[in-house]
Amino acid sequence: MSSTPIAAAGSADHIGDVLSSWSKEWFANGVLKAIETTGDVDERGHYRWLLRFSGDEKDFVTMWLTLRQRTVHIETQVMPAPEENIEAVYRYLLAKNADLYGLHLALGPESAIYLVGRVPVGELSVERLDELCGAALHYVDEIFPTAMSMGLASLYRRRPRSRT
């Protein structure tokens, strides 16, 4: 398998610059905990960045940005594969999918539930990245507790809401 070159020279640098500008406010407010990258292409010729956020319903929400040939692919795991009430979980997720903006729910190779999306490389800006990360965090916090309560009911207990 040969690696596919990215859309334009400098695309990885562009994404790095966007991440650097965008992350300042997110680090300052404590929601973004880390950004990591190897700086090298993977076995498929893609650059990847890992973003780690503190979550409300999940301790951490980890998001991957992958520079593909013409797009930046965004993905974050919502939950592991459901083990109970599988049909009801999928029905719930399919209904939720219709309300999502910029991202959609998908099954991963291990049957885990992911939020995924993609943006053309040239359209990734600080504002667009802010929209996507904000939406992903919101959707994970919204979907995770219900889906986990249905799909892994014997293992999952929802956190009590703090009253502030």
pLDDT, residue 19, reads 96
C-alpha 67/C-alpha 12 separation (Å) is 7
Distances (CA, A) of 114 to 17, 98, 131: 26, 15, 18
Pick the more confident residue, 120 or 10: 120
Helices (H), the chain: 11-28, 86-97, 126-151
Q: How many domains does the chain have?
A: 1
Tell me whether strands 104-107 and 113-120 are parallel, antiparallel or unpaired. Answer: antiparallel
Residue 156 lies in a domain: no
Please report which confidence band the pLDDT of residue 124 belongs to, taking 50, 70 and 90 as the band edges.
very high
If we measure between CA atoms, which residue out of 52, 40, 49 comes closest to residue 19? Answer: 49
Question: Are 125 and 159 within 8 A, CB to CB?
Answer: no
CA terminus-to-terminus distance, the chain: 54
pLDDT, residue 43, reads 87
Please report which confidence band the pLDDT of residue 164 belongs to, taking 50, 70 and 90 as the band edges.
low
- Beta partners for residue 113, in sequence order: 79, 107
Helices (H), 29-117: 86-97
Residue 4 lies in a domain: no
Percent of the chain with pLDDT over 90: 75
C-alpha 63/C-alpha 50 separation (Å) is 6
Pick the more confident residue, 141 or 156: 141
Residue 108 domain boundaries? 11-151
Residue 108 lies in a domain: yes
pLDDT, mean of residues 33-48: 90
* Identity of the amino acid at 116: V
Residue 1 lies in a domain: no
Residue 5 lies in a domain: no
Lowest mean pLDDT among 23-37, 39-53, 98-112, 119-133: 39-53
Q: Residue 92 is part of a domain; what is its CATH number?
A: 3.30.1460.10
Residue 76 lies in a domain: yes
Question: Are 12 and 47 within 8 A, CB to CB?
Answer: yes
Tokens 């990245």: give the residue. Answer: 129
**DSSP designation for 80:** P
Instruction: Tell me the whole-structure pTM to 2 decimals.
Output: 0.87
Residue 143 dihedral angles phi and psi, to the nearest 5°: -85, -40
Residue 164 lies in a domain: no
Residue 159 lies in a domain: no
Mean residue pLDDT of the chain comes to 91
pLDDT, residue 2, reads 47
For 50-69, the pLDDT digits (tens) are 999 998 889 999 999 999 98
pLDDT at 145 over 80: yes
- Beta partners for residue 106, in sequence order: 114
